[in-house]
Chain A
Amino acid sequence: MTFRRLLGLCASLTAFAMASPAWSATITIATVNNSDMIRMQQLSKEWEKETGNKINWVVLEENVLRQRVTTDITTKGGQFDILTIGSYETPIWGKQNWLVPLDDLPPSYDVKDIFPSVRQALSANGHLYAVPFYAESSFTFYRKDLFDKAGLKMPAQPKYEEVKTFADRLTDRAHEQYGICLRGKPGWGENMAYLTTLVNTFGGRWFDEHWNPQLDTPAWHAAISFYVDLMRRDGPPGANSNGFNENLALFSTGHCAMWIDATVAAGLLYDKSQSQVADKVAFTAAPIAKVPNGSHWFWAWALAIPSTSKNVAAAKSFLAWSTSKDYVALVGKTFGWTVVPPGTRASTYANPEYLKAAPFAEFVKQAILTADLEHPTAEKVPYTGIQYVAIPEFQAIGTQVGQLMAGALTGQMSVDEALKQAQASVKATMEQAGYIQ
């Protein structure tokens, strides 16, 4: 081989190496199956093309996903490179060093563009452990056609007493029209998410400053009695089986006059292909009872990298891409601005195209900005989280109390009895876990 040929071969190899990606990896992402994530799945081909990496998607239902990723991360199974987790898990897992800190994202990512309340919810010990894909709060949806017909006017900041009056007026059981639809399905993320905001605004709290459960207090009693009474008078039958999806189906098929739930439902209710009441729906703030604290919740679905990942660099690259301003713009251009991931970035809410396409945008932004995770209740508490308590024991506690509240709703037991049992059960768990000596 002549020197010239050898030189040519070297040049060709160098050119080939330069044309190929510097590294390529296959990452596995565990995620939930909702429309935002499906869009991300479709658009992720762009990232694959750009970087030469490949993605394996593991898409699961929310509760299955939670169990699956919890098993994997606690046993250090290392099955996933990116996890979709919520604002409840992120600080708990971050404190355990189960997640890779994301403090070194490139300047172009503009971390400060993410709403401070969202960043705060996804941080622990001063480190950001997950980046938000979308965030939500809760507010009140109502049917403006039914309100107009009945001569009622929904205030900008409704009170629960007003909600009760409206619900009484608008219930027409003969035509399967119910004044109000609220979550009744037991679960810490189902009925207890809503009920915790209700208790907050009635002036209650889960625990006092010393972690003593407060479920037998007058505030809890007033809140749960109000809920049970309202749902029995004006709620749909079988309400103890209704979670977010069931109520969404009821509202979107015209069976509910009011519904207090996640702001993310706005995009679905305004979508004519999914909702029969798209041109009749309106929204206002979540109602308050006695105090404004914690009357509307905060939740974010976020992407995090488990510390067991073997492809941290590729995973970080994907996180930065899929939660960036450019990604928001890509969704807007590809699928329309109504469906861009809401609630995360200030720049999204400064975009005139988004504001024009999503009439609920400003409301959602205000709800998210005013959701105060550090001070969720009127009285002092030792925990963070509005519709949950950010401690590992809360999943079990919340679900157990949720079952008792569902029992009170169906009339299996009285509110008094349900709260008494709930207090005893939570106290036992907290003692066992060492919070109370």
Chain B
Amino acid sequence: MKNFWSKSAPYLLITPSLLLMMLIIAYPIANSVSISFLKYILFKPKDIEFIGVNNYFNVLKDPVFWQSLFNTIIWIAAGVFFQFFFGLLLALLLNRNFIGRRIVRSIILIPWVTPGVLIGLMWKWMYDGNYGVINDILSRLHLIQDYVPWLAKSETALLSVIITIVWQGIPFFAIMLLAGLQAIPEELYEAGKVDGATGWQAFWHITLPMLKPTILVSTLLRVIWVANSVDVVYIMTGGGPGYSSLTLSVYTYMKAQKAMDFGYASTLAIYLTLMLSVVALFYLKNLNLKEVR
């Protein structure tokens, strides 16, 4: 009997958390998978029917899907890369000793703690083609002749929203990487110095390898967040002009909330989830986490 309890007690103990997991993770996922096999338009609750994988084929035939997928790849690649790049620079800077470092460390968090909706509205007015401060500055610097309607041109709309999301994400990387930097033992640098390493060599052979786990985890997290972010794009451009800044997550949002086509929207969401899972798996496999730990 004692044996029985010692064997089963762990399972009983995890029951509550298992239950919660089932409720808030497994059930919604299973539900959206099952909805994706239905013709499920909320306007027509009487016409809900099983249509197999039709939604999956229809998505592949949808030109807007391909356009938004293309935009999403640029959105993630450029967005996350520049967030990381500037975040790393900032982290290295903040890792140095200077007066007022604590204050600066708190201040740089502002973009990160500002709600996405607010960021979208703020940048929308900054980019405004009639009164925007960005146009004002650029024209005073004589970099542009006439005001540019940044968000009203398909050549500049996606770029403009990417700059916004980069601004939002820099503090996240800066803080994560700063924590990583401070965990690197000073002895390594001292040993490097003894061996005659230059600053660049120290960075390349000590800082970067030691930071690798932090970089991995934070980049992966950010890729997923950026891929799923709706607010900034939706508020700033609504995916426009045309479909030029439409990302897959915004398209999914519009299909679900505006067209009320939950079957199609679930299918889009599942495609996005699958693609992100592949990226995540590939990433974690190839950049072996255990090895660097």
Decide whether A and B are members of one complex.
Answer: no
Interface residues of B (CB under 8 A from A): none
Residues of A within 8 A of B (CB): none
